[in-house]
Chain A
Amino acid sequence: MLHIICALKPEAQPLIDYYRLQLQPKAGAFQIYHRPETDSALTISGMGKSAAGAAVNATRDYFNSGKSDAWINVGTAGHASLPIGQAVITKKITDAGAGQTWFPSRVFTTALPVHELLTLDKPGREYRTELFDMEGAGFFQAVTKFATLELVQVIKIISDNASQSMDEINPDLLSRLITKNLPVIDEVIQQLLPLSKKQQQLERLAEGFDRIVQSRHFTASQRHQLKTLLRKWNVLYRREPLGQAPLEKRLARQNSATQVLEHLRDELDKAPVNLR
């Protein structure tokens, strides 16, 4: 699943329209948009790093998201010299207040310029060689507590620089900046999504688990063993089904959890090991 976090509604709106996301009722303190068909969502955090962190946590709780979800913070930032409207991907994020630093891990190639980002506690007017914003560090700190680093990115669009100050920023400009960059934002998202999907598939290898545990009582340790055995079974027998009857039919004949596990171990013992 993909989660986009934006600080402000004008930044979020072009993405909401582009990905055809729907506002979720009863989503709590934050406005959360979602489209189940594409497994994508967007949360509006409000300004500041605490708000960004809180929005990440609320989104995680709302969707019960796991390690295989992809996360992206899309927003605007200032920079000394980069042109207004330039999209940038970040390589180092520093929380100016706390002095903490994070290094996003990018496993795909990108044509976007790559820069450092400084997250300030208050709006800044001192233009510098790093980008500066107010949310990046809050987002990154919160999300990397539970997500997978390689599935988390921060993209910023330059909204002000030394020759065009932040006084000229208005909601309309913010929306235009994001709209102009929708193709490049989408390009990054399309690189992250397959990685996230692949991770999701790997988590699903213990096929049949839910149905099997529904019909008998398994202790926590037996559930763990069952998951491991089912995963191994699915791996070893993926090309060579054992007999005609599906595994679950054979397991249905076993009365207790212990017997189910024993039966699975027996079948695994007979499994041919072919590495290819």
Chain B
Amino acid sequence: MIDQIYIEEAIVEHPRARAIMQRYPGAVVTECERYTEIFNRKAQNFRLQKINPALILAKKFGNHVLPSPAEYAIGGKQNYYFSHMLNCIYDCRYCFLQGMYRSAHYVIFVNYDDFIEAIIEKIKAAGDDSIHFFSGYDCDSLALDPVTDFVKEFLPVFRQYPQALLELRTKSTQIRSLLAAEPMPNCIVAYSFTPEEIAGALEHKAPPVGKRITALRQLQARGWQIGLRFDPLIYQEGAQSQYEALFAQIFEQIDAQMLHSVSIGSFRLPKSFYQSLSRLYPEEVLFASPLDETSKGMITYRETLRDELWSFCKNALLPYIPEDKFFPCESA
């Protein structure tokens, strides 16, 4: 429950900011000049802030749409991401946001029009190239949808431009607005999974695996394109059989032939993020696992362990899906 809201002075009258604030009538509201006065200041502790994060309403200037890391590509020639929100209401222990930001507060950029304008510009400039947009890089795309109205505001843009594809990456079961909308072939709802035993230990506050599968099934039945993301792959004793069971559980309930894409990726973090995370959670087994630094400065599982789990998962997945729907992420 949000009980503190910070808002930039310049947007106090913005209709979206006002609508969001109305949802939290009891919250203490504080005005600031720029959201950066609160977000990411020195001396903040992400872990402590996560106990009771505040909501920050801000306006984003510039860089509304950025090139996305090549490893996230699912077949598009041009790939971009955009973040109408920073941070997430869930608390996955492996989440790189904890290493990227000092603050756990949720920032919502209310100037959606500027994001939309930038998206359209990129689509027009792409010409005949296939162009993909990813939301859910700096946040979970759907987790706060009832508050942000993200789906309602952004989907119509992609309806207008069927040549552009939008991926909503999520663990959320907030799918009411998607179920109410007409499905579109150029929007993929991609769910991230780890096996129940791992999710229970690491994906704090996120919907349980079973509920995510139910949401996937409902979306697929309604006609939405769905994707599966097993990224990051997490190791623990018995991980292989746990992943095997997870794949069986998922493919028992969804139509694999109608899947848009499946991707897997090893657990990896830039070294500086890993250092921040292991300082924040020194008691966390994940960060005491057998990890190594790669030549690219990433921290990932020791090579043999990483490759073993990766190959196992790949081989366990391929019997379920056509190979052209499989997008491995190799970036460590």
B3 interface contact, C-beta 8 A: yes
Q: How many A residues have CB within 8 A of the partner chain?
A: 36
Contact of A148 among B6, B45, B200, B285 (CB under 8 A): B45
Whether A231 pairs with B282 at a CB distance below 8 angstroms is yes
- Chain A residues near B6 (CB-CB < 8 A): 103
Interface centre among B28, B285, B287, B290 (most CB of A within 10 A): B285
Whether B30 pairs with A116 at a CB distance below 8 angstroms is yes
Stretch at the interface among B46-54, B178-186, B221-229, B246-254: B46-54
CA distance A107 to B30 in the complex (A): 15
Whether A235 pairs with B30 at a CB distance below 8 angstroms is no
B330 interface contact, C-beta 8 A: no
A8 interface contact, C-beta 8 A: no
Whether B288 pairs with A236 at a CB distance below 8 angstroms is yes
Q: Find residues 110-156 in chain B having any chain A CB closer than 8 Å to their own CB.
A: none
| Top 4 closest pairs, chain A to chain B, by CB | A275-B201, A232-B288, A150-B48, A235-B288
Q: A105-B54, A275-B285 given. 18 additional CB < 8 A pairs?
A: A91-B4, A91-B28, A103-B6, A103-B30, A103-B37, A107-B52, A116-B30, A148-B44, A149-B41, A195-B48, A202-B283, A232-B288, A235-B284, A235-B288, A268-B288, A271-B288, A272-B237, A275-B236
A residues with CB within 8 A of B: 91-92, 101, 103, 105-109, 114, 116, 144-151, 195, 199, 202-203, 205, 231-232, 235-236, 268-269, 271-276
- Chain A residues near B200 (CB-CB < 8 A): 276
Give the Cβ gap from A261 to chain B, nearest Cβ, in Å: 16
- Chain B residues near A276 (CB-CB < 8 A): 197, 200-201
B158 interface contact, C-beta 8 A: no
Give the Cβ gap from B300 to chain A, nearest Cβ, in Å: 14
Binary interface profile of B, 31-74, with partner A (CB < 8 Å = 1, else 0)?
A: 01000011001111100110110100000000000000000000
Give the Cβ gap from B285 to chain A, nearest Cβ, in Å: 5
B234 interface contact, C-beta 8 A: yes
Q: Find residues 241-299 in chain B having any chain A CB closer than 8 Å to their own CB.
A: 282-290
CA distance A91 to B4 in the complex (A): 10
B191 interface contact, C-beta 8 A: no
Whether B283 pairs with A205 at a CB distance below 8 angstroms is yes
CA distance A202 to B49 in the complex (A): 16
- Chain A residues near B37 (CB-CB < 8 A): 101, 103
Give the Cβ gap from A270 to chain B, nearest Cβ, in Å: 10
- Chain B residues near A151 (CB-CB < 8 A): 45, 48
B202 interface contact, C-beta 8 A: yes
Contact of B234 among A109, A147, A205, A275 (CB under 8 A): A275
Whether B4 pairs with A106 at a CB distance below 8 angstroms is yes
Q: A92-B30, A144-B43, A275-B198 are in contact. Are A105 and B49 (CB under 8 A)?
A: yes
Whether A273 pairs with B28 at a CB distance below 8 angstroms is no
List 20 A–B pairs whose Cβ atoms lie within 8 Å, in order of A's numbering: A91-B28, A103-B6, A105-B49, A107-B51, A116-B30, A148-B48, A149-B45, A150-B45, A150-B48, A151-B48, A195-B51, A202-B282, A231-B288, A232-B288, A235-B282, A235-B287, A236-B285, A236-B288, A275-B198, A275-B285
Give the Cβ gap from A226 to chain B, nearest Cβ, in Å: 14
- Chain B residues near A103 (CB-CB < 8 A): 6, 30, 32, 37-38, 41
